[in-house]
Amino acid sequence: MKQVYPKVTHLANSPIDRLSALEDLCRTKIAEVLQAYLNAEADELIRRRRYERIEEGAPVLYRNSHDPERLVTTPVGTIPIRRPRVRGTTYESAVLPKHARRLPSLDRTFHKLWLEGLSQRDFEPALRALLGEQAPLSASSIARVNGQFREEFDVWKSRRLDHERYVYIWVDGVHLGAGPADERRVILVVIGADAQGEKHLVALDEAMSESETSWREILHDLKERGLRTPRLGIADGANGFWAALSAEYPEAAQQRCWLHKNRNVLDKVPEKLKGETRRKLREICKSTTRAEAMSKIDSLALSLSKDYPKAAACVRDDVDRMLAYFAFPKASWKSLRTTNPIESVFASVRLRTNVAKRLRSGASALYLVFKLIDRLSLTWRRIDGYQTIALAQEKAA
């Protein structure tokens, strides 16, 4: 390859002008090095340098000038490049494909900025200020880059689960404002904890509602891909999931979320009683035995039954599911009582999706949510009492 030595450049006097001149110098030298490399590739292909005679027995190949100049965007800005043409063979550069307009590192930057909250319409003005006015940027080019999310999601969604063992699963339906304005679609989520207490995103799909049919489709698909029966499923009070879980995994225990229960009860008492009622509900959760919890439930329901019968009925509703966690190791009770593993994740997800206002389709919401959760999962901690998961597995055996 031809060696390229920089010419001495006298930079400006002011700090700002010197830095600007340095940026220009970097772009210029990168362009020179890349152009020299492309020319060297062509020379090696035809086995001689420019203007040298053809050796006997060598292929009859000729340099045929250059393609029209094109702009290639790099992390340091946009540079002009002319690809050498070779007559007599099909020529493809190893470092610069025929139609490449930017380096792969920029695509990764687009992905990261999109996930961090930069809306698609803001990409062009924000990146043009960094990469230059001539950079090949548009809303459609950003959309094509983000189309790679769909490919990753499709591969993940069809993966086999034969070797996975999720002892506990948390499920919930989350509304993100995805889809047309006259449709209220919901994102159905399943997160599981494995034998080491590590949490994983197990399933993610869109639906029109949290119906039994919608949940059963998800659970049936997981079962078809090899997911074994979890020891416990944790969800809110939506009956659709419980019916689906009983149909697909009848041996799994069922735990209803105390966080949702508290909200339901507090919604049925006046403001002046909310503080005391909230305290008593917390006391129920602090019980050390199932019998103690039942006694406190009866006491709270009795105190509300005269003036607030709906609240009392709500306290007593679905008691068996509310107290299912007592059958599992005590060290994990805090993690098993609520769907907080999903609630906390989507608190962060909404920070990004709220920027998008209304997502155009449920599908686009899925790809975005999948990538966001994939990134967030890098910092997930193990569930409380993960050391005792083996005890839960032994009881199931």
The predicted structure's pLDDT at residue 358: 45
CA atoms of 360 and 177, how far apart (whole Å): 9
Q: Are the C-beta atoms of 218 and 190 separated by less than 8 Å? A: yes
Among 49-58, 118-127, 135-144, 151-160, name the most confident range.
151-160
Cβ-Cβ contacts under 8 Å for 32 (sequence gap 6 or more) = 4
The predicted structure's pLDDT at residue 76: 65
CA atoms of 81 and 70, how far apart (whole Å): 5
For residue 356, pLDDT over 90 is answered with no
Other beta carbons within 10 angstroms of residue 208's beta carbon come to 13
What confidence tens digit (pLDDT) does each residue in 212-225 have?
A: 999 999 999 999 99
The predicted structure's pLDDT at residue 259: 93
For residue 388, pLDDT over 60 is answered with yes
**Between β-strands 70-74 and 186-194, what pairing exists: parallel, antiparallel or unpaired?**
unpaired
Cβ-Cβ contacts under 8 Å for 325 (sequence gap 6 or more) = 232, 255, 332, 333, 336, 337
First-to-last alpha carbon distance for the chain, in angstroms, is: 67
Torsion sign over Cα 24, 30, 33, 34: negative
DSSP 325: G
Residue 279: HSE in the Cβ half-sphere, 13 Å Cα cutoff? 4
The predicted structure's pLDDT at residue 83: 79
- What pTM was computed for the model? 0.68
What confidence tens digit (pLDDT) does each residue in 256-298 have?
A: 999 999 999 999 999 999 999 999 999 999 999 999 999 999 9
The predicted structure's pLDDT at residue 118: 53
CA distances to 32, 72, 73, 77 from 106, in Å: 20, 11, 8, 11
Strand-pairing partners, residue 81, are 70
The predicted structure's pLDDT at residue 299: 95
What confidence tens digit (pLDDT) does each residue in 23-79 have?
A: 677 778 777 888 888 888 877 777 666 566 666 666 667 667 777 877 777 766 677
Q: Are the C-beta atoms of 392 and 167 separated by less than 8 Å? A: yes
The predicted structure's pLDDT at residue 389: 85
